[in-house]
């Protein structure tokens, strides 16, 4: 392996499940920190702010702070400020992430006034018929569609649960519009993460449990991809994937050994 100078690491399904640490995850990050390897925890999680994520992980023993966290909402805010400044954004998201959407004008998706942009975050109870139909009406009146990700599902303590990718294609087809994706697997997301760490793609690796969104998307950006067999990992999605991961590990606990080769 080429010498690695930085690591991008997914959170849900790699470090934790339902915010409970996976075996060996805390120790793995402690070893990276001790070795002085820069890392960023990159996540499509839309239910918590960067500050809350950092506090939750720190309470579980992970050696991280807010500056180590890069979320889809934070990257989405930067995208909206750059490409849709001043736009009225109707946010449909399960969880309050307004703290990470600084500089963005948010309106309730159910407001009668037409929004300029419909922004989809993470799915959950907020994705009911009334809200999805209200978003559809905004799109019919010319609003742009931005989604933080296309994840079909995520792993919970009770099993897999539906995510935004299970609803987004219906909105796109009904409104005859294609969403702009700002979180993983968007190339801009990985570019932002590398800039955050001051690293080049060839000297970085990405560790994830989603072979398409985390691993192969990173590899297309020139980043070494590492798939872990935890979280949402399924043998059938591995076999039918559009490419081959650079490395496959049983869990994040095996990452320090891989880096030490």
Residue-wise pLDDT for 41-69, tens only, equals 999 888 889 999 999 999 999 999 999 99
Q: What is the pLDDT of residue 261?
A: 75
Distance CA 146, CA 129 (A): 19
**Please, are residues 211 and 236 in contact by the beta-carbon 8 Å criterion?**
no
Q: What percent of the chain has pLDDT over 90?
A: 85
User: Which pLDDT belongs to residue 1?
Assistant: 56
In sequence order, what are the beta bridge partners of 161? 154
CA distance 59 to 46: 20
The string of pLDDT tens digits covering residues 14-25 is: 999 989 999 999
| pLDDT for the residue numbered 188 | 87
| Model confidence, pTM | 0.82
Predicted pLDDT at 95: 86
The sign of the torsion formed by the CA atoms of 91, 103, 152, 54 equals: negative
Tokens of residue 259, six digits: 């880096």
158 has pLDDT over 90: no
Is 70 exceeded by the pLDDT of residue 2? no
- Assess contact for 119 and 89: CB atoms under 8 A: yes
Q: CA-to-CA distance for 173 and 140, rounded, in angstroms?
A: 12
Whether 112 has a pLDDT exceeding 90, the answer reads no
* pLDDT band at 202; cut points 50, 70, 90: very high
The continuous run of DSSP H or E covering 249 comes out as: strand 247-249
- Answer yes or no: is pLDDT of 242 > 80: yes
Cα atoms in the Cβ-side hemisphere of radius 13 Å centred on 30: 8
Shortest CA distance to 11 belongs to which of 208, 226, 261, 225?
Answer: 208
């Amino acid at each position: 392996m080429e010498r690695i100078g930085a690591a991008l690491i997914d959170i849900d399904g790699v470090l934790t499940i339902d915010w409970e640490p996976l075996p060996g995850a805390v120790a793995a990050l402690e070893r990276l920190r001790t070795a002085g390897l820069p890392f960023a925890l990159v996540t499509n999680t839309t239910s918590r702010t960067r500050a809350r994520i950092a506090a939750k992980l720190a309470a579980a023993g992970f050696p991280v702070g807010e500056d180590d966290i890069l979320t889809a909402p934070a990257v989405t805010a930067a995208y909206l400020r750059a490409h849709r400044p001043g736009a009225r954004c109707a946010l449909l998201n399960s969880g309050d992430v307004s703290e990470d959407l600084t500089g963005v004008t948010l309106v309730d998706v159910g407001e009668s006034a037409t929004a300029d942009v419909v922004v989809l975050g993470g799915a959950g109870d907020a994705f009911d018929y009334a809200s999805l139909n209200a978003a559809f009406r905004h799109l019919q009146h010319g609003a742009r569609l931005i989604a933080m990700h296309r994840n079909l599902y995520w792993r919970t303590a009770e099993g897999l649960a539906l995510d935004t990718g299970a609803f987004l294609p219906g909105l796109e087809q009904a409104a005859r519009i294609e969403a702009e994706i700002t979180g993983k697997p968007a190339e801009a997301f990985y570019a932002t993460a590398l800039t955050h760490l001051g690293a080049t793609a060839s000297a970085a690796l990405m560790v994830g449990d989603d072979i398409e969104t985390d691993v192969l998307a990173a590899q297309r950006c020139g980043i070494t991809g590492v798939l872990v067999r935890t979280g949402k990992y399924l043998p059938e999605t591995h076999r039918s994937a559009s490419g081959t991961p650079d490395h496959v590990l049983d869990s994040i606990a095996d990452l320090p050994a891989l880096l030490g080769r």
